[in-house]
Structure 1
């Protein structure tokens, strides 16, 4: 990683204090939009991971066909079965607008599926989130949705996309990026083609890149974090090589969406002045949130694998998130001494 101590110091500034000074909701309110008839596990994993990471409240916005099942997974989740196939788009839009106004971040994609009505509501939600200036995380079938219409997300710098190997290859092709381009440079080219959206390319090493063209504040902050002012003039790319488990669980990407979402919810609270000194520009939050979420998710994967071996499943990762957070950021990451590593 580029000057990892400096970058981690910036990530840690976004962690809310755990000293009794904040009330419920001031440490992040996360929404996860996804969950149809055949997909109930993915939105659960994303939403519960946000809670285990440290967010205060986690909402699942889903189809009625998935809501009952998701509710049985955990009483800690707030489930909104408003994505009805037989409802009008205007009706659902009003419900979404009211709900999103109470959230800090929206994660779109886990368990979304490709049914036309779910895809339509996801587009509505993304548009509303952009209007409200929300941070968003896009994964799974939300990436397929974006691939069909790049304008849905292009130029929105408060967004993070989290493609796996297959999704990244498809998105690169849709953006007409040469597949022969060096793998470590491709994420930056995808970010540039998307107009500065932060790209978290999942793999053996997670590659996180953001195009900073025209963003002087973010460029200055990246240089303070150790980026080469010449090589990194228009982009900042960070490799997260934190050790992960040797088996990749099917829902690990959903865990990542939830942890990045929780980190972005904290960033919104930081931006609003709930805590912190506001010295970090908001344009840098998506990159920092992607780094923090990636490091904790990979550590959770390793810890779960160490216990369960070949039989590890995504559910084994959930109890490891809190412990992994302490491993990555230190036991002092409770608001006191946030500058220490």
Structure 2
């Protein structure tokens, strides 16, 4: 089943115009929290994918042991090696608060690892993000953090979870979802039990679900539904069956978390009035970002596979992101003189 045309048209409304009217940063400032000693590729893929999709700035918040490697991958990334095992937690918290105040979205999990100190910093960052009503994307070991304590994310409707098959199974078990629930209904059921958090279940087709009909959806979450405090109670599931590549190599999920993060950053800019008419409810932005990120990432995988075949590596997807964006959403229509860009 193709993605509903109405959903695609709404996604287009939160895409920043390329007409010279926006300043640096008004097309999205993305942060990626992750990157420990053994994991440097994942945060790089997430952060650079956000830039390749069209975000203006991309920051990586990582451990000092990962910083030099990540910096060497690309000069376009801003790297903050503040997650030190030896640092005083209060000092890290102060720096995190300063950093997050400048970002539109925080992507958590790529290369995070499960060391106690990294998990502690991740919980700290998520708490700060919630205080600030930031959009967040949780992937990889940030999902492991959540499965250990669902309360960390419960009821926070500015979040998108992006689990693969194994991660989704673990989250479902933590939430007490019965195996008898039909497969295509489990993502929505997980969303319901988490109080309306958007779930992007990765698979042969991606299922993006939002369900705010559960009791947890009545939790008070500052800023989630706009100034009027409106509470939408509904279930929506979008199946993205866009053709992807046939090679499933490590790192493609990091590309997805980066593209979803970029679109959520655009959503925040839209919410803040940098562009658009503000007609799309804020509570709908996470689902739209998840659908858009899924469509572009799957298309990039297909295009890269057509070029590289069995030898495909995640790096091959990066040059395809801009082209895939145009393929999915149409060529950018530039108003005025192109030279102004």
Counterpart for residue 28 of structure 1:
28
Tell me the distance in 2 between the aligned counterparts of 1:6 and 1:212.
20
Task: Tell me the CA shift for residue 332 of structure 1.
Answer: 3.4
**4+ residue stretches of structure 1 with deviation over 4 A?**
333-336
Question: What SS is found at the alignment partner of 1:244?
Answer: coil
Counterpart for residue 208 of structure 1:
208
Counterpart for residue 328 of structure 2:
328
Tell me the distance in 1 between the aligned counterparts of 2:88 and 2:68.
22
Counterpart for residue 186 of structure 2:
186
Task: Tell me the CA shift for residue 335 of structure 1.
Answer: 7.6
Tell me the distance in 1 between the aligned counterparts of 2:76 and 2:332.
26
Task: Tell me the CA shift for residue 233 of structure 1.
Answer: 6.8
1:66 matched to 2:66? The reply is: yes
Q: How many residues align?
A: 322
Show CA shifts across 1:78-120 (max 9, x none): 0000001001111100000000000000000000000000000
1:134 matched to 2:128? The reply is: no
Task: Tell me the CA shift for residue 334 of structure 1.
Answer: 5.5
Show CA shifts across 1:311-335 (max 9, x none): 1000000000000000000003658
> TM-score scaled to structure 2, two decimals?
0.92
Summarize the alignment of residues 1-341 of structure 1 with structure 2, pairs less than 5 Å apart. 1=1, 4-213=4-213, 234-332=234-332
Counterpart for residue 229 of structure 2:
none
Distance 1:244 1:93, change over 3 A: same
Show CA shifts across 1:36-63 (max 9, x none): 0000000000000000000000000000
Distance 1:276 1:335, change over 3 A: farther
Task: Tell me the CA shift for residue 166 of structure 1.
Answer: 0.5
Distance 1:254 1:335, change over 3 A: farther
Show CA shifts across 1:181-231 (max 9, x none): 21110000000111110000000000000013369xx99xxxxxxxxxxxx
Given that residues 15 and 333 in structure 1 are in contact (C-alpha distance below 8 angstroms), is that contact kept between their aligned partners in structure 2? no
> TM-score scaled to structure 1, two decimals?
0.92
Q: Which 5+ residue runs of structure 2 have no aligned equivalent?
A: 219-223, 226-231, 337-341
Given that residues 44 and 70 in structure 1 are in contact (C-alpha distance below 8 angstroms), is that contact kept between their aligned partners in structure 2? yes
Question: What SS is found at the alignment partner of 2:319?
Answer: helix
Show CA shifts across 1:17-72 (max 9, x none): 10100010000000000000000000000000000000000000000000000000
Question: What SS is found at the alignment partner of 1:238?
Answer: strand
Distance 1:194 1:2, change over 3 A: farther
Question: What SS is found at the alignment partner of 2:318?
Answer: helix
